[in-house]
Amino acid sequence: MTILHIDSSVMGENSVTRIISQSAVDQLKATRPGGTVVRRDLATDPIPHFTPEAFADSTVVDEFLAAEVVVIGAPMYNFGIASQLKAWIDRIAVAGKTFRYTEQGPEGLAGGKKVVIASARGGFYGPDTAMAAFDHQENYLRNVFGFLGVTDVTFVRAEGVAMGPDARDAAVETAKAEALKLAA
Ligand SMILES: Cc1cc2nc3c(=O)[nH]c(=O)nc-3n(C[C@H](O)[C@H](O)[C@H](O)COP(=O)(O)O)c2cc1C
């Protein structure tokens, strides 16, 4: 059993998503003894922007396909995901490998995987908030993984982290408690 652990925050030790993704990986490891963790840090070891030459390199998509569980630290930056994470998604959405078009429409080929998104954002973007339409981070990730055939997508979220230190700490504790509920 392989867990692919990805981070994309540029905030180093102050990163909320790194705390959450590590909690999620620790919990998933505990429920899967003997599993191995493959680490990919997109901030310290970035994948370059997509280029025509990059088509030939299948390392990143093969690593994604080989993992049973994928944990992704995904901060909201300017209402979307970090560009480092977008560069990774550009490598895993590969026609013929992770999706294909049929006469009935698109078909995801990467099903059977569990994806856990460690999400953090400064404000609040729930469906009942005025900012809901600005959420191009979680909605985007849910749609991308759905398109690739992944139906088991769980969000472990810290919201409102920019509302002061107390709010940040409370949001992190809530997310860590949510991570403890991750099991099979
Ligand atoms: C470059 C940048 C852009 C951000 N843009 C947004 C934003 O559009 N909306 C928001 O609610 N918070 C925004 N934030 C706040 C982050 O989402 C928040 O600090 C979160 O903790 C980031 O995750 P991290 O701590 O793992 O980096 C931004 C932060 C940075 C550094």
Q: Residues 117, 158: contact at Cβ < 8 Å?
A: no
pLDDT > 60? residue 154: yes
pLDDT at res. 141:
98
- Mean pLDDT (the chain, rounded): 96
Say if residue 177's pLDDT is above 60.
yes
Cβ–ligand 1 contact at 9 (below 6 Å)? yes
pLDDT for residue 67 is more than 80: yes
Ligand 1: nearest atom to the Cα of 125: 11
Confidence at residue 51, expressed as pLDDT on a 0 to 100 scale: 84
Measured CA distances, 25 to 43, 102, 117, 131, 182 (Å): 18, 35, 11, 30, 9
* Ligand 1, atom 10, residue with closest C-alpha: 122
- Sorted by where each starts, the structural domains of the chain and their CATH numbers stand as 2-179 (3.40.50.360)
Give the pLDDT score at 110: 97
Instruction: Give the pLDDT band of residue 7 (cuts 50, 70, 90).
Output: very high
State if residue 121 touches ligand 1 by the CB under 6 angstroms criterion: yes
Q: Verify whether ligand 1 is closer than 6 Å to residue 161 (CB atom).
A: yes
Length of the chain: 184
State pLDDT tens for residues 11-40.
999 999 999 999 999 999 998 888 899 999
Question: Each residue of 104-139: pLDDT tens digit?
Answer: 999 999 999 999 999 999 999 999 999 999 999 999
Q: Cα 157 vs. chain centroid, distance in angstroms?
A: 11
